[in-house]
Structure 1
Amino acid sequence: MNDALQDFIHYMIVEKGLAQNTIVAYERDLKGYIQYIQKVEQVVSWQEVKRSHIVAFLHHLKMQNKSSKTLARHIASVRSFHQFMLREHIAEHDPSVHIETPQAERKLPKVLSVAEVEGLLQAPDNTPFGIRDKAMLELLYATGLRVSELIQLDLADVHITMGFVRCVGKGNKERIIPLGRLATEAISTYIERGRASLVGKYTTNALFLNHQGNRLTRQGFWKILKKLAQKANIQKDLTPHTLRHSFATHLLENGADLRAVQEMLGHADISTTQIYTHVSKVRLKDVYKQFHPRA
């Protein structure tokens, strides 16, 4: 049964061209699914899989307190897998066809205030590592890049004189995002003074490097962010995505066009971007309640 999974993963990589993180998520979800139906439901071939087996698997996930978002993702993985097997004649039926997707909870993203962003941007010191950290934070807040996009940047992707950065996002879609003056200055300083110290004797095209002179990882950035948030005395639960959320919210609060923000964030569907308008409304209500004498 695992052979079909490997065929599916190969199809997703070669024909669909999905991002590495998406492939990893599909593979992880489907390995769990296969393990469950084999060990718990005693299924030995794809011809035996029934709708009840999938429902039992989803119930198993629910009993583990998985969120509706996680359940929806698993259903999407299982459905795509069974559709692939039917299409490739690995299986003769698709038991996932009538499985309903649960309504995902739409949680408002946590954002920083402008003052908190300023505090975070001032937290890095003047060492080569601090200069790198400052450049990364300025770039994230100036562009709304995902952290996965940030760490994949090469030197050639940042055009200082033209004032833009080129990145490849989800689905291998390329987008061009303008850079502000402060972000441009921070990146220039890092390339001239910080990166040269970090790269040492190594040769690499990666823009942001760790202490070994290699490309910085997501985990490495996460540790840096937690340390800087503590130094800036930010009490909120900060994640690498928080600056992306703050970028979008602050743009919309200052009158930016929703379509332009969608383009910069690289959202395929504008409904994904619209959640930031809800964040703005919530913040407006909070300000009203705090400052209006009759609130």
Structure 2
Amino acid sequence: MHDKDRNALDLFIDYQRAQNLAATTIRNRRSILTTFARRTGGLVDTDVFTLRRYIGRDDDVSPGTRRTERGALIAFYTFLHDEGLRADNPTTKLPVVRVPKGLPRPFTPEQIDAMLNSGAYAKTRAMILLGYYQGFRVSSIARVRGEDIDLAARTISTTVKGGKVRLLPLHDVIAELSKSMPPHGYWFPARDGSAGHVRPSSVTDLITKAKLRAGILDPRLTPHSLRHAFGTDLVEQGVDIRVVQELLVHEHLSTTQIYTQVSDRRKQDGIRTLAPREVPARSGRAAAKIAA
């Protein structure tokens, strides 16, 4: 990467940190921009045609990935334009990426049991339980601390997207789990001995290994599928979807609907709530004419 591009990227990272954006967001955007610069030969001085060609490349890229890349590029070039580091903003003419509505991809209860009994170590099992019983993302799992648990109030504190801290109900399974976990500090400390927690990518790797050991080979099922299972099973048990939205800490109900699969049984139960009514065997027109 050229010095000019590297300096601009460093300034953009400083700007995002000043915005208090999540470290995961900053890291992902940096990766996207670095890859773009490497593949196209430049970053700051690119044009809209190069941007369109890159986002629309025939490289087996999913629509969701294209949309994420577009968002990172828009944020970067808007920053350059606003800061006077570039006279124009080439992303203003980028087309919207059409993404099909997502479908939930939850683990089944049997698959979750299989992962827990796959020979996974205690910390990996704890990660799986947090993903399912609290609906946590891998980033939230990675940073759980003993201080986040309040057994008296039955709550757990977590930091969600955007750096927001939320207080959520504590599931009984996690309350019991907490008794065997460190009461202070991170439950999953960094492996290098530093004061921080493990990387979210490490959580992903550990749960994925448990999944594979359990013989679950479906590539659509990821550690995030534990969160999908959390939402789906709550709906299956009759929990109001607005409550599920709050537990998943979603700003929009439409997002929650992506996470919640409705079973055939629930659909059947739902349609049967419409009460039957008596339908006449005949039209009755002939009798009406005779009476007239």
**What TM-score bracket applies, with the shorter chain setting the length?**
0.7 to 0.9
- Code of the residue aligned with 2:164 in structure 1: it is K
Task: From 116, 122, 147, give the equivalent of 1:156.
Answer: 147
Q: Structure 2: how far apart are the matches of 1:274 and 1:222?
A: 24
Are residues 1:208 and 2:176 paired? no
Q: Structure 2: how far apart are the matches of 1:220 and 1:257?
A: 33
TM-score by length of 1: 0.76
Task: From 108, 114, 130, give the equivalent of 2:109.
Answer: 114
Asked if 1 retains the 8 angstrom alpha-carbon contact of 2:141 and 2:203, the reply is no
Structure 1 residues 75 and 232 mapped into 2: Cα distance closer, same or farther (>3 Å)? Answer: closer
Task: From 7, 17, 21, give the equivalent of 2:20.
Answer: 17
1:272 is displaced (CA, Å) by: 0.9
- Code of the residue aligned with 1:207 in structure 2: it is W
1:161 is displaced (CA, Å) by: 2.5
Residue in 1 aligned with 2:262?
Answer: 280
Q: Tell me, what secondary structure is at the counterpart of 1:97?
A: helix
1:64-213 aligned within 5 A: 64-121=59-116, 129-130=121-122, 132-188=123-179, 190-191=180-181, 195=182, 205-209=185-189
Stretches of structure 1 that go unaligned for 5 or more consecutive residues are 197-203, 288-295
Q: Tell me, what secondary structure is at the counterpart of 2:100?
A: coil
TM-score by length of 2: 0.77
Q: Structure 1: how far apart are the matches of 2:27 and 2:226?
A: 25
**Superposition RMSD on alpha carbons, in Å?**
3.1
Asked if 1 retains the 8 angstrom alpha-carbon contact of 2:134 and 2:170, the reply is yes
Stretches of structure 2 that go unaligned for 5 or more consecutive residues are 270-292
Task: From 198, 213, 225, give the equivalent of 2:207.
Answer: 225
Residue in 2 aligned with 1:55?
Answer: 52
* Residues 110-148 of structure 1 deviation map (CA, whole Å, 9 limit, x = unaligned): 2122343344445568xxx43x44433333222101111
Structure 1 residues 37 and 213 mapped into 2: Cα distance closer, same or farther (>3 Å)? Answer: closer
- Code of the residue aligned with 2:137 in structure 1: it is R
Structure 1 residues 235 and 53 mapped into 2: Cα distance closer, same or farther (>3 Å)? Answer: closer
Q: Tell me, what secondary structure is at the counterpart of 2:92?
A: coil
Residue in 1 aligned with 2:281?
Answer: none
Q: Tell me, what secondary structure is at the counterpart of 2:95?
A: coil
Structure 1 residues 210 and 18 mapped into 2: Cα distance closer, same or farther (>3 Å)? Answer: closer
1:32 is displaced (CA, Å) by: 2.6
Q: Please say which structure displays the higher CA radius of gyration.
A: 2
- Code of the residue aligned with 2:65 in structure 1: it is T
Residue in 1 aligned with 2:10?
Answer: 6
Q: Tell me, what secondary structure is at the counterpart of 1:100?
A: coil
1:21-60 aligned within 5 A: 21-38=24-41, 46=45, 49-59=46-56
Q: Structure 1: how far apart are the matches of 2:265 and 2:211?
A: 21
Q: Structure 1: how far apart are the matches of 2:209 and 2:73?
A: 39
1:34 is displaced (CA, Å) by: 3.1
Structure 1 residues 122 and 186 mapped into 2: Cα distance closer, same or farther (>3 Å)? Answer: farther
Q: Structure 1: how far apart are the matches of 2:214 and 2:29?
A: 37
Structure 1 residues 158 and 71 mapped into 2: Cα distance closer, same or farther (>3 Å)? Answer: same
More helix by share: 1
Structure 1 residues 241 and 90 mapped into 2: Cα distance closer, same or farther (>3 Å)? Answer: same
Q: Structure 2: how far apart are the matches of 1:96 and 1:220?
A: 34
- Code of the residue aligned with 1:64 in structure 2: it is D
Asked if 1 retains the 8 angstrom alpha-carbon contact of 2:127 and 2:207, the reply is no
Residue in 2 aligned with 1:199?
Answer: none
Structure 1 residues 209 and 4 mapped into 2: Cα distance closer, same or farther (>3 Å)? Answer: closer
Aligned residues: percent identity? 26
